[in-house]
Chains A and B, each alone.
Chain A
Amino acid sequence: MSSSVAIAAEDLVKEYEGTRALDGFSVSVDRGEFFGLLGPNGAGKTTFIETLVGLSGPTAGTAAVFGHDVVADRRAVRQRVGLAPQEYNVDRFFPIREVLEHKAGYHGIRHETAQKRADWALDRVGLQEKAGATFKSLSGGMKRRVLLARALVTDPDLLILDEPTAGVDVQLRREIWDVVKDLNDGGMTVLLTTHYIKEAERLCDRVCIMEAGRSVAVDTPAELRRRGTDTYHLGVAGRPPGGALDGIDEVVSVERTDAGLAVEAGRSSGALPAVITALTEAGVTVTDVETEPTSLEDVFVDMTRTDSDRATPARPDEGTGSETDGPDIEVTR
């Protein structure tokens, strides 16, 4: 069945012993898209993935992959999906090459072809030299690559990656993303969950922010950033009078700093000229201007902040990610 929509979920609900892991979740992912699911722990990302591949049945609602219902036509769905799960769920009785051959066989790929596919997948993730090793003997980064290779060995149309770079060093993360990005460029649809927001920002065509089993926002990273605020760090000569910026609607907050003022205003609102004019009219000279644009991380934290978080703001400002081009936040709430 041909469909331009890779994933279509409508009002999905999943209840586990009184807990709603999915609470009316809806999303649509286009064929060929690189789509990210962002959300704190417990937001329902993995439950959604398990629902797609039939490891978990929905309590209510519907979901389809390439037009195939995930409950009524689950075998057709599974035929087209490659899943690299978060957990290391690999058969440890066999060398990894055979693990891949077995997986291909479960998808109806003949043994001779399965052997070739296994070699191709191991080569793709740079593990050909370890083909005869057992999963247990591999390093953490290699284990992650085995999960990716196993997902690829069946030549899926939809690749689902659940935290594929958790605990992986910077260089290997980039290698993994190079492989996945290349596959996506070749037409493979990719659904990604990650705690590394900068990764999602860099890789994904669109991102869905999830919170408590619901979709909070779906858009491109650029559009989501636009929903946040910019902060203008202003150097000033003279002490601005209180309420000098009260007449500017776009201004969200004003805070005195050692250098002068930190003015938070709606992103791309064009408030800066009005701020400078208002300060000048109040007899204050603006000596320096620096704009700090909002990040997807800021938008994410703002959208998924709970009431208790708001009462005592504790925004993470550094993460466990070790990208050389800036700090990357790992959300582990």
Chain B
Amino acid sequence: MSLRERAREGRLPNWAVRTLALGRREVLRVVRRPKNTVLPPIVTNALYVTVFGVILGARIGDTAGVPYLQFVIPGLIALGTITQSFQNASFTLFHGRWEEYVESVVASPMGHREQVTAYLLASAVRGLAVGLVIFGLGLVFSEIPVRRPLVAVAALVLVVTLFGSLGIAGGLWADDFDQLTVFNQFLIQPLVFFGGVFYPVSDLPGLVETVSYLNPMVYIVSGVRFGLLGQAEVSPVVSLGVLAGASVVAVAAVLALMARGYGLRD
């Protein structure tokens, strides 16, 4: 019997009820406040698509063998998914700690695995929803193929897992809003922008290209790009391998932090 059927019959195990309750709260927070959650990235990406993809793209011509808009859309999807999944987990935990209502969860029977699962699920919903909207924006102006759907889905699921986990860690670590901004503004955004979203890494001069491959975002962007276009600078096996490895480490780390009550308990 599936979880859904058991839920319908009221036979869902307690751990699932608890996890879904927190996950539901997290998703509702996003849905109820679109002006603060999903609308800003949609507007930003609409501007990216229009300016870089349509206006500049017409002058740039083909890039890596495809129209520039097609080239840039996978990167924008990766960028949107990364920032939204990170922001969702980091903001909700930080804000909950700041206003202390997270104690309602901490002082409940929820285990650390249940809490991490719920926060990751909500981050995934927000990150993937924004990624889907960016894909839709691309379709408005151009044909965007999905040549390897399984690779695309695997890459995006790993992206939301990795950055949802990093968001949890950031939300537990930050003591004020500035620290939260620092994490996003000075680490994640630069890595993403230098991760081959807007240009092929192989177009860079030798040493810069080599150094670029130390940037984990290159593998993320390549993974998503391969899933959509069927071609990328890094093999999908390597991309998904790096992403999977990083995700496992990140999830293990936040599970350990939550189990210790880091940032949540004295």
Contact = CB atoms under 8 A, between A and B. Distances in A.
Nearest to A78: B109
B103 interface: yes
Contacts of A105: 17-18, 20-22, 24-25
Interface in A91-125: 91-94, 98-99, 102-112, 114
Contact of B106 (A55, A93, A111): A55
B105 A108 contact: no
A76 interface: yes
Interface size for chain A: under 10, 10 to 19, 20 to 34, or 35 or more residues? 35 or more
A167 to B, nearest CB: 18
Given A16-B266, A89-B104, A90-B101, A106 B28 contact: no
Given A89-B99, A93-B29, A94-B28, A107 B266 contact: no
A57 B20 CA distance: 28
Nearest to A135: B101
Contacts of B107: 53-55, 78, 81, 83
A102 B109 contact: no
B2 interface: no
Interface string B85-108: 000000000001001110111111
Nearest to A21: B266
Contacts, number: 91
Nearest to A93: B29
B20 to A, nearest CB: 7
A20 B107 CA distance: 23
A100 to B, nearest CB: 10
B266 A106 contact: no
A214 interface: no
Interface size for chain B: under 10, 10 to 19, 20 to 34, or 35 or more residues? 20 to 34
A92 B99 CA distance: 9
Interface string B243-266: 000000000000000000100011
Contacts of A57: 261, 265-266
B33 interface: yes
A50 B104 contact: no
Interface in B1-38: 10, 12, 14-15, 17-18, 20-22, 24-25, 28-29, 32-33
B110 interface: yes
A255 interface: no
Interface of B: 10, 12, 14-15, 17-18, 20-22, 24-25, 28-29, 32-33, 96, 99-101, 103-111, 261, 265-266
Nearest 7 A/B pairs, CB to CB: A105-B21, A106-B108, A108-B14, A89-B100, A56-B266, A91-B101, A75-B109
23 contacts: A55-B106, A56-B265, A57-B265, A78-B109, A85-B103, A89-B100, A91-B99, A92-B99, A93-B32, A94-B28, A102-B21, A102-B22, A102-B25, A102-B104, A105-B20, A105-B21, A105-B25, A106-B21, A108-B14, A108-B15, A108-B17, A110-B10, A110-B17
